[in-house]
Amino acid sequence: MKKARRPSSRSLSFEEVYAKACRYCAYQERSPAEVEQFLKDKFMLSEAERRRCIDHLIEDGFLNKRRFAMLYAQSKFRQKQWGKQKIAFHLKQKAIDDQLIEEALDALDPIEYEACLQKLLEQKNESLQKTESDPLKQRAKLIRYAQQKGYESDLIYKLMQALGN
């Protein structure tokens, strides 16, 4: 079991905290809300100091909401095959503006997006045929699976028809 890290007994200067925040942001793309939480959890900074640190990170290019939203949407789609609804939900949880979420989702290639769902449905259908004999239950499970991945109902039903379900 890992021990919880406590903030250092010696207080860090703003510059030291800023350097740690820079490394945190350089390691992987972060949202301002994630950095705010990191600063809150790890360092004893006032609200004004946290805001100042985040402002400096934005000015120096370590934080960018638009870049974060775009990369997050692309990576969750490509690596986890999430649909737009699930991606949007998670971006909202990370305090990303609706306009930026819409931009990030619009940037997903619609042909690749539909092909991904088609492939997911075909793979799931294949595995369900081995375990589920009732076609209605099989169809319901396929729809539920695609919805849990975050795909839109109209696209699911369109591709279900192409599958013959």
Residue 164: pLDDT above 90? Answer: no
Residues 146, 114, 76, 29, Cα dihedral to 10° = -150
Q: Which residues contact 104 (CB under 8 A, 6 or more apart)?
A: 69, 70, 72, 73, 74, 87, 91, 96
CA distance linking residue 164 with residue 160, whole number of Å: 6
> 112-161, pLDDT tens digit by residue?
999 999 999 999 999 998 888 888 999 999 999 999 999 999 999 999 98
- Find the range with the poorest average confidence among 9-18, 87-96, 98-107, 148-157: 9-18
